[in-house]
Amino acid sequence: MRRRFDPAALDDSQYLGNRSRRSLMRAGAGSIAALAAGGLFGGRVAEAKPIDSPAGVPIVDRLAVRVVTDSYHHAFEPPRTLGSLQVQRLGFAVAPRTAPRRTLQSEWGLSLHLESLRGSETRNVLIDFGYTPEALLNNLTLAGVDAAKLDALALSHGHFDHFGGMVGFLDAYKGKLKSGLPFYLGSEECFCTRELNVPGEGGGFGVLDRDAIRTAGLTVTFADKPSVMADHGFSTGMIARQSFERVLSPTRMNVGLQAGVGCAPEKLSEGKRNLSVIPDDFEHEQATVYMLKGKGLVVMTSCGHRGIVNSVRAAMKISGTDKVHAVLGGFHLAPHPVEYQRQTAAELKAINPDFLIPMHCSGETFINIVQAEMPDKFVRSSTGTRFIFNGA
């Protein structure tokens, strides 16, 4: 019989406690093939290339971030150039002598397309899939993103507003994606079935579809520790709690498998294997980071449940630098009290990034705080916007 969750029984040190899984994944191609053939996927499984020291962090010359899906679109938001940062906007999809047929669709969720350049080498990555495939596919088309050119997919964490569009995306591009395309995940926890735990909004919150991933021929690539992502960027892996920030639990996850759906208990950290229902602590959440030549880190937190300050500090520790060029994505501050948000702003101000670009779940209160206290750093985001970060 599985136990209920005891929050006092877990801490960050227990993550990666599944020694048997790590040993198997590191043992070599034969072990990986055996896991793939006899395990849950019936397909490809791998472990991302680890970063053992700051010397292992890739450096890129340019990074372009397209906001494919977010909850807000302002068609009249003007383009801007802020030093070396170019901010391009996508307003109306119109053509001469042709009636418009499409417009960008905004929804509660997030999806980002990244295009990085190192020398003559380009890499394309899609992070998260938003809430619905309709919005995702529509916006990818309007933004001119060619999914066939993607070098990797990544899921920041196992929430439906970040993977809801995945199955429809994989179906729409069936046979068009690169063979064995890496799909970066934080850990097995991404596959646990989840329930929304918000007052007045209880109910199922989806489950990541293993069969769709297998059918698409993706290579599930676990990045539960600092790891290189698609040659040019890196994942923070598990983000340690090292600041005042609190981890809220808007969802709870159910541990176990039924007919191949859900998460395998033996692949979770030791403190969670024998539990049945666990308030999410988001140990599986990862941030995506790029080191921009001569400028510093560009840190992307799709939701930042582990804390935006914790996420940035994790990236700084991995890379061995305290120079942060930009922080963008969901900061998950909307549910927190104003004073908590002010403290977050103060901590970010001390880190001193060149740009702060809050999206998704950051909340208008925090945006107003940043506009007032760091107006020279704040950049307004909007669905369809493309941020081009140029290195020195």
Q: Which tens digits make up the pLDDT trace of 299-316?
A: 999 999 999 999 999 999
Cα 103 to chain centroid distance, Å, stands at 25
- Evaluate whether residue 127 is within a structural domain: yes
> What average pLDDT score do residues 121-141 get?
98
**pLDDT-based confidence at residue 42 (cuts at 50, 70, 90):** low
> What average pLDDT score do residues 259-274 get?
93
Flag whether the pTM goes above 0.85. yes
- Evaluate whether residue 10 is within a structural domain: no
> What average pLDDT score do residues 155-178 get?
97
- Evaluate whether residue 309 is within a structural domain: yes
Paired tokens of 122: 């380009």
Residue 187 domain boundaries:
15-94+105-390
> Tens of pLDDT along 378-392?
999 999 999 999 999
Q: Is the dihedral of CA 371, 62, 159, 109 positive or negative?
A: positive
> Tens of pLDDT along 196-244?
988 777 899 999 999 999 999 999 999 999 999 999 999 999 999 999 9
Paired tokens of 307: 């804390």
- Evaluate whether residue 350 is within a structural domain: yes
Q: Are strands 288-292 and 233-235 parallel, antiparallel or unpaired?
A: antiparallel
Do 247 and 282 form a contact (C-beta atoms < 8 A)? yes
- For the chain, the domain total comes to 1
Residues above pLDDT 90, as percent of the chain: 85
- Evaluate whether residue 4 is within a structural domain: no
CATH code, domain with 134: 3.60.15.10
**pLDDT-based confidence at residue 41 (cuts at 50, 70, 90):** low
Q: How many CB atoms lie within 10 A of CB 137?
A: 21
- Evaluate whether residue 259 is within a structural domain: yes
For residue 280, the model assigns a pLDDT of 95
Selected residue with higher pLDDT from 181 and 34: 181
- Evaluate whether residue 9 is within a structural domain: no
- Evaluate whether residue 50 is within a structural domain: yes
